[in-house]
């Protein structure tokens, strides 16, 4: 099965953000997940200093299908039955569709860095298998 994501950037009508968020979370997102092929959805809010002058909400829908055209046709067929909120600023909405190009990676699936080099093997001057210096390493006994 091929994976896709659909991104939807939206904004509420000024002064109606709470109503917009309730509608999106409690009504629209569940309706979208009833469309065959739409398997998951999650919302995000833009943060940071430039967020004030742009639509600040993003929904990402995960799609799994062998027939994208049929899935999009199912979405088009379901759209007239979905609840629309007048708390959403329709002209600000931007919808895009992306094909997944590779496996999702996480810190636990990232390539393992090479192991550090092994310490050098002990040499005869390292005193073999015991930690104490040999008689020859201590030098001749001091007769005084």
The pLDDT of residue 111 is above 90: no
- CA dist 59 and 30 (Å) reads 12
Rounded to whole angstroms, how far apart are CA atoms 9 and 44?
A: 9
* CATH classification at residue 39: 3.30.70.100
Any domain includes 12: yes
Q: 45 in a domain, yes or no?
A: yes
Q: Is residue 93 included in any domain, yes or no?
A: yes
What is the structure's pLDDT at 108? Answer: 85
Q: How many Cα atoms sit within 13 Å of 125 on the Cβ side?
A: 1
**17-25: average pLDDT:** 97
Q: Which helix H or strand E contains 74, and what residues bound it?
A: helix 68-78
Q: What is the pLDDT of residues 47-101, one digit of tens each?
A: 877 766 788 899 999 999 999 999 999 999 999 999 999 999 999 999 999 999 9
Could you tell me if 41 and 60 are in contact, meaning their C-beta atoms sit under 8 angstroms apart? yes
| More confidently predicted of 6 and 48 | 6
Q: Indicate whether 136 pLDDT > 90.
A: no
pLDDT-derived band at 142 (thresholds 50, 70, 90) equals low
Q: Which residue has the higher pLDDT, 48 or 106?
A: 106
CB 2 within 8 A of CB 64: yes
Domain limits for position 76:
2-99
Number of independent structural domains in the chain: 1
Alpha-carbon separation of residue 123 from 102, 119, 126, 127, 129 (angstroms): 49, 12, 5, 7, 10
In a domain, 24, yes or no: yes
């Amino acid at each position: 099965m091929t994976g896709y994501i659909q991104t939807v950037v939206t904004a509420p009508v000024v002064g109606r953000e709470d109503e917009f968020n309730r509608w999106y979370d409690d009504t629209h997102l569940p309706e979208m997940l009833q469309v065959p092929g739409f398997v998951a959805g999650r919302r995000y809010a833009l943060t940071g200093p430039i967020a004030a002058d742009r639509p600040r909400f993003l929904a990402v829908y995960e799609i799994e299908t062998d027939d994208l055209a049929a899935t999009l046709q199912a979405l088009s067929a379901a759209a007239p039955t979905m609840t629309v909120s007048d708390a959403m600023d329709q002209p600000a909405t931007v919808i895009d569709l992306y094909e997944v190009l590779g496996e999702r990676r996480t810190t636990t699936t990232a390539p393992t860095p090479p192991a550090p080099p092994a310490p050098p093997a002990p040499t005869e001057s390292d005193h073999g298998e015991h930690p104490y210096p040999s008689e020859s390493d201590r030098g001749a006994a001091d007769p005084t």
